[in-house]
Structure 1
Amino acid sequence: MVRVVVLDYGSGNLRSAERALRRVGADVTVTADFDAALSCDALVVPGVGAFAACMAGLRSVRGERIIGRRLAGGRPVLGICVGMQILFERGIEHGLETAGCAEWPGTVDRLEADVVPHMGWNTVRAPAESVLFGGLDERSRFYFVHSYAARRWELEVRPPFPEPMVTWATHGDDFVAAVENGPLAATQFHPEKSGDAGAQLLQNWLKSVS
């Protein structure tokens, strides 16, 4: 059984993520403990709210160090919603620029759409070779709640990891809906709120790290 830590840094749907992961067979602990988060088989970094607040919370538990050290050792990390956004270099909200974890290049900024936030179900366009979306077809729908996203992808290959696989969605314009990059993966949507499709994605992720 895969030992998963859901990182508790004061932001995110912790219990929803815990329940969803338990349902697909993970041994889950919700904690802010540095050593537990570093040594587990797989780490989930959730997040809701503002980019700056999430980064402040993450730093308060040395979360950016945990993520960096895990990835340096090839140990799996999954970011969800703002937990995905903070993996980019920076976020800009209400004119405030905040440094992120810089695991990926690029900026998270406001969606350009007639209706913001983007709230509800949407389809995504995943690469054919995607592991996360294996067994899911193009009609599968996932649950989004966000006003900000990475709307461009600056391709960069960081050895020894392969070229990132980027999944896109559209709300007004295109934005990054998920990324798979060696041991680092993330989704802008909430798999724990996305019914059977979300459960399948979490199961795929667990199989990829076991």
Structure 2
Amino acid sequence: MTSVAIFDYGAGNIFSLKTSLEKAGATVDVITNFDKPNGYSGLLLPGVGNFDPAVKSITESSKIKFKEYVKDGTPVLGICLGMEMFFEKSQEGKEKGLKIMNGEVIILPDSMKVPHMGWNDLEIKRPGKILQGVDNGAWVYFVHSYRVKPNSNDIITAEADYGIKVPAVVEQDNFFGTQFHPEKSGSVGKIMINNFLDVCKR
């Protein structure tokens, strides 16, 4: 059985993610620091909270630094805020991001109602490990006010079209990010969670 950890920033509201992982056959712990050596097959950064407090909880409250914790190639899935923290900075706060991916996080345009909430279809741009078995045009559930703006489009595997193109899935090495919430995206989200757990088994 695959053992994964969800990092809790203190915002709570991660029950549905934990339940989705357990239904997919994973053993799930909820952790609040990286004080112990990494014994997990995968790590998830959930999509709740605000940028600055979340980044601080990762970078300041642990004995082991985040990048050191996952240096052995541990797969990491960032959901919504978790994905946004992969980047260098965000307009939501003043703290530096984790700097795993080059680029920034910007607020959605004034032409859109913020936060954007609802179902949108995916435009798959290139093959991705967590997109295996997901059809182009599949619908997933978004709740967000910001979007990522990578320096390179090469890491974007899927987009959503809101009148502007919004990166919906990114992949770089052992880091995977979704702007939407797979745990709230029905059967399509279930495929992605299973795909992530498959990566964790390798």
- Both proteins in one fold, TM over 0.5: yes
Partners of 1:7 and 1:37 in 2: how far apart?
14
Per mean C-alpha deviation after superposition, the further-off stretch among 4-13 and 134-143 is 4-13
Q: CA deviation at 1:36?
A: 5.2
1:191, CA displacement in angstroms?
Answer: 0.6
The answer to whether residue 129 in structure 2 is matched with residue 131 in structure 1 is yes
Match of 1:42 in 2: 42
Secondary structure of the equivalent of 2:94? Answer: strand
Asked if 1:202 is matched to 2:199, the reply is: no
Counterpart position of 1:192? 183
| Normalised TM-score (structure 1) | 0.86
Aligned partner letter, 2:65: R
Structure 1 counterpart SS, 2:135 = coil
Runs of 4+ deviating beyond 4 Å: none
Q: Partners of 2:64 and 2:105 in 1: how far apart?
A: 17
Selected match of 1:101 from 98, 110, 116: 98
Unpaired runs of at least 5, structure 2: none
> Residues of 2 paired with 1:62 and 1:126: CA distance?
36
What is the aligned-residue identity percentage? Answer: 34
- Partners of 1:100 and 1:209 lie apart in 2 by 24
Q: 1:65 maps to which residue?
A: 65
State the Cα RMSD in Å: 2.2
Residues 14-60 of structure 1 show CA distances to partners (whole Å, capped at 9, x for unaligned) of: 21110010011111111224255722110011132321222223334
Question: What is the alpha-carbon distance in structure 2 between the residues aligned to residue 38 and residue 106 of structure 1?
Answer: 28
Match of 2:24 in 1: 24
Superposition deviation, residue 135 in structure 1: 1.0
Map 1:144-183 to 2 at 5 A: 144-150=142-148, 152-155=149-152, 164-183=155-174
How high is the TM-score relative to the length of structure 2? 0.89
Residue identity matched to 1:196: S
Q: Unaligned stretches of 5+ in structure 1?
A: 157-162
**Aligned pair count?**
200
Offset at residue 141 of structure 1 (A): 0.8
